[in-house]
Structure formats: structure tokens, C-alpha cells
Amino acid sequence: MATPLEIAIQLRDQFSDLFGTPTEFRGEATLTLSDSSRIAEVCLYAKSALDFNLLIDLSSVDNYGEDPRWTVVYELYGLSHHLHLRIKTSVSEEISELPTVSTVWRTADWHEREIYDMMGIRFSGHPDLRRILMWDGYPYFPLRKDFPLAGKPTVLPDIAFSRPAPLEGGPFVTLPGGKDSTAREPRVRNSEE
């Protein structure tokens, strides 16, 4: 049976002009892709030829103050061989766009929408690239490191909170029991008090 590093080497050999030397840590191999515009092609090969049929996660890192600004990380898993593979690629602030991999793994649809919503990285060819957490028209990207920790006040009080949410025990702490889930919701309890 192959190791994650051996599989990573096979992928690197297929795209020798795009990858450096793979690294291995705790049984997982990582490859860094130098040309982010070819990520969909690389992922399609990883799925079809190397049997990485599951995209576990797709995340982004803001390297604020550095160029390229963002790193996008693809976490792959093969159900048949039980191996993990991580592919990283960088995206500059000037381009801030990658090809979608939702054509390779359908689950990438929501991951890419979340990255777009929180970081502002666009995915060309995505079937429905719109905000998934923030409302349409929201002008900021909350997970960027230059976004203030205290947040920004909203000018749309009917759409979003206009004052801080209560943090007594956390805004999402519910109580056991009750007649239904609505009665256990903290904001409903606070309004009844």
C-alpha cells in the first residue's frame, strides 16, 4: 500500500513544472501548487487517477502584509486507500480569483461560497457564487485580517444587529428541555424576561 508521500510524489511527477518537493507531517503529505490557475486540472487528476474522491475541506489563510496575500488549502481524502493529501496554492490580491473545483467535487460549492463571502476570493466558473453567511450587498469580508475585531456598525438595522449580541454563556447556548426548540433559543428567552 502506498504512503501519502508516495502518492504526493506521483502527483508531483504528473505536474512536475507546477510542484516543488512534497512535505510530510503526521501521516499527511502537502504539495504547494505554483500556478493557481491550474488548480482544477490538478484536482481532477487527483480525483480520477489517484482516487482522492472526497474533498474534506477547502479553506483560506490571509497572509496580510505579504504577497501573495492568500493561501487556499484543499484537503483531500481517498476512501479506497484511506490517505490524506493537502494541496496549497497562493492567490495575490490583484488577481484574487481561482478556478472552481465544484466541477470536480460538488461539495466545493459551499466551501468556495464561504471563502468568497469571508475573504473575497472569487472562483471563476462557479455555478452560484453569492454570499452564504453575510447578506447580499455587504461591502466587507469579515475574516480578512484588516477587518476590525470589534466589527463594523451596520447601516441596515432591520437586516443585522445594530448593537452587540448578548454573550451571557454565549449567544448560541441553549437550555435542555422546554416545549420546543424555539423556547430553548437564548434570544427568545431574553425577550420574554
**pLDDT tens for residues 54-87?**
999 999 999 999 999 999 999 999 999 999 999 9
Sorted by where each begins, the domain ranges of the chain are 4-162, 164-193
pTM, two decimal places: 0.79
Confidence band, pLDDT 50/70/90 cuts, at residue 167: very low
**Is pLDDT of 168 > 50?**
no
CATH architecture of 4-162: 2-Layer Sandwich (3.30)
Pairwise CA distance, residues 80 & 86, whole Å: 17
Pairwise CA distance, residues 95 & 107, whole Å: 24
**Planar angle of CA 151, 116, 8, nearest 5 degrees:** 120
Predicted confidence at residue 55, as pLDDT, reads 98
| Residue 80, C-alpha cell as written in the block | 479506497
